[in-house]
Amino acid sequence: KQMRREAANSILNASVNLLGFCLVVITSLHIANFKDGHLVDEAMMVVAVFLSLSALLSYVSVRQLEKSFSETLFRIGEFLFISALFGILVSVITITFEYIK
């Protein structure tokens, strides 16, 4: 149980930090008027929602006393976190290829 709690705390911390990164990217795309940024912008918004939900579920998982419900919340939060990381990777690759053109 202690290891899961530490993992949930790590996911909570990383999710909040990456959420800040997503908001900076979204803001930067709008300020720079990135020509093909609407797809990246929308992807980053989905990533931001996933990270927000991941952080929320990880927090509730840590605070939850019932072990089975806590484990379920942790697993869902973990899945959303991994999905968000994949979304960030795809967005970064897309932005990189747009600037290389």
For the stretch 50-63, pLDDT in tens is 999 999 999 998 88
What's the rounded Cα separation, in Å, for the pair 69 and 84? 23
Q: Give me the pLDDT at residue 34, please.
A: 65
What's the whole-model pTM score? 0.83
HSE, side-chain direction, 13 A CA sphere, residue 56:
7
Mean pLDDT, the chain, rounded, equals 85
Q: In degrees rounded to 5, what are phi and psi of residue 64?
A: -75, 135
